[in-house]
Amino acid sequence: SFLLLCFRTSLVAPLIFGLLLQPPLIQLSMATKPNIVLLMADDLGIGDVGCYGNDTIRTPNIDRLAKEGVKLTQHIAAAPLCTPSRAAFLTGRYPLRSGMDAINNYRVLFWNGGSGGLPPNETTFAKILQQQGYSTGLIGKWHQGINCESRNDHCHHPLNHGFDYFYGMPFTLISDCQPTETPEMDRAFRRKLWLSTQMIGLVTLTAALGRLTGLVSVSWKMLTCLAGFSLLFFVSWFSSYGFVRYWNCIIMRNHEITEQPMVTERTTPLILRESLSFIERNKHKPFLLFLSFLHSHTPLLTTERFLGKSSHGLYGDNVEEMDWMAGQVLDAIDKEGLKNTTLVYFASDHGGWLERQEGKRQLGGWNGIYRGGKAMGGWEGGIRVPGIFRWPGVLPAGIAIDEPTSLMDIYPTVVHLAGGVLPQDRVIDGRDLMPLLQGTVEHSEHEFLFHYCGIHLHAVRWHQKDSGAIWKAHYVTPIFRPLGAGGCYDRGFCPCFGEGVTHHDPPLLFDLSQDPSEARPLSADTEPLFDTVIKKIGRAIEEHRRTLTPVPEQLSVYNVVWKPWLQPCCGTFPFCWCDKEGDN
């Protein structure tokens, strides 16, 4: 028995000693509710950031986050456009589960006066953190809708989705917000409407002249009807598209409109001021700050201080200003003594917009070595984004993790850290990242990730953990124009379906661990595992589809179109104008 006791002691002693030597990081994360600061760029390409390989755009503050934290090199957006990607981020679910992915060519919310948006029955991470005693704030871009049935029901508003405080744009920044810029919204459709109006007007004018000169026998009644139709047609579309700046380019504080239209020259300093003020007001209790930058979406609002300072024109200036803003937020966290109790996360909502150009000016981002960009649901350039976490003393510093992770993973990660419980009545597609970030597990929990373009499944990624291979099968890819180009420069956006895409049977297969640029498709002749991999992915798709249930389509044509009775208005509709920031 003495020998047995000695043997047991010899086993237990090293175990206890090993536990004592464990760094305190793992226990700390469980014992405290950290502040959570989420920084999300808009349309930023993974190739635009220094710590991801860019050596010409200066991003010292984002690079500092990576140096002091964990950098994810395979961080994937759930959609290649703003509205669906952010819906997935907020809910931890693929956007088609909440009806926030497109069934048609209207792939994002188009109007503040539309009825579509993040459904009230979706539970965001903000709502759970709010229930856990957090002060929750959203500063910047929302783009998840405002109203459902009346001008002030605010059913989709941030305050109805768990945020105590909101300051920013309920919509998204577009070039129409800047009077000096060429209009961006629905540009091709608007041209068709103008052309149709001119043609109808020309027909009406010709008929009237013919009647007056006696060359055409047309009754005055018919001419009156034709003129009335011309006027009605013009008013029907110009009442919305003619006033985009007033309808969409507004700033709100909570439910109150403070600028309509927004004064773009002061938007950046006001968003920064509001962010720093939120930290100052809430420094004595746990808080969630979601700073949703308007950078680096066109029209690339950039203050005088940063204009002309980068090597990449206005786009580079804008990215460098965003980095400076991020630095101001990090400095405020340090100044308040909150650095070691704050989890900071930085990402982009999707890849850079390759086709966004005006003449010779490139106004969209760069996606590094990755193929494709914004709006492309399958190619890596549209969905692989920066992803950085920092929490000194809890997460290791200066490491990179090359495992498949998703923007949807933020949901379970922050809910877990806040002591909350994930909803049990719905599928949550995200996975808690803390074990991976802290190094207690080697692999991501994601075996498969599904890459949608609207409601159309374009590609699937399989992480074969035993071999380290990351297989990706493309079932649909966009047709690039001109041929050989890396984007759909003829359209400005790559489509999800129709004549602008190619269907692949068998699918294009790549091993991203060997070919991250997706330049060399594999075949049954060149890859012995080709058939096995395709079958495995096919079974995963069938299993995934069994988890989908029908929901109302938030991006249907009816939900997307402008409805005057839903238009937020600072004044008496249609006389909507105010500048409360200027008055202050």
CA 83 to chain centre: 6
- The span from the CA of 8 to the CA of 502, in Å, is 66
122: helix, strand or coil: coil
H helix intervals, 401-449: 410-417, 434-438
Q: Which token pair is 13?
A: 């002693």
Structure token pair of residue 348:
């982009």
- Closest of 434, 429, 388 to residue 40, by C-alpha: 388
What's the half-sphere exposure (Cβ side, CA atoms, 13 Å) at 287? 22
Instruction: From the candidates 6, 51, 75, 82, give the one annotated as an active-site residue.
Output: 82
Identify residue 364 by its one-letter amino acid code.
Answer: G
Give the Cβ contact number of residue 468 at 10 Å. 12
Q: What is the DSSP letter of 118?
A: S
Token pair for 120: 């009230």
Residue 249 known to be catalytic: no
Q: Are 138 and 165 in contact (CB under 8 A)?
A: yes
Alpha-carbon dihedral sign for residues 515, 517, 518, 519 = negative
Cα distance from N-terminal residue to C-terminal residue, the chain: 83
- The CA distance from 272 to 6, in Å, is 64
Q: Using CA atoms, how far apart are residues 470 and 461, in angstroms rounded to an integer?
A: 7
| Measured CA angle at 49 (ends 43, 53), to 5 deg | 130
Q: Which residue type sits at 437?
A: L
For residue 322, which of 21, 65, 12 has the smallest C-alpha distance? 65
562 Cβ partners below 8 Å, 6+ apart? 110, 111, 113, 114, 240, 247
Whether 82 is a known active-site residue: answer yes
* 421: Cα separation from own chain's centroid: 25
Using CA of residue 303, residue 305, residue 308, residue 311, what is the dihedral sign? Answer: negative
Task: Name the nearest CA neighbour of 388 among 1, 159, 71, 11.
Answer: 71
Which is the catalytic residue, given 75, 143, 350, 446? 143
Backbone angles phi, psi at 104, to 5 degrees: -140, -160
3-state secondary structure of 72: strand
94, 547 contact by CB (below 8 A): no
Non-local CB neighbours of 507 within 8 Å, separated by 6+ positions: 459, 473, 474, 475, 534, 537
Query: Measured on CA atoms in the order 374, 379, 383, 388, is the torsion positive or negative?
Result: negative
Cis peptide bond N-terminal to 269, omega within 30: no
| CB atoms closer than 10 angstroms to residue 457 | 19
DSSP state of 37: E
**Helix count (H) and strand count (E) of the chain?**
16, 20
Please list the active-site residues: 82, 143
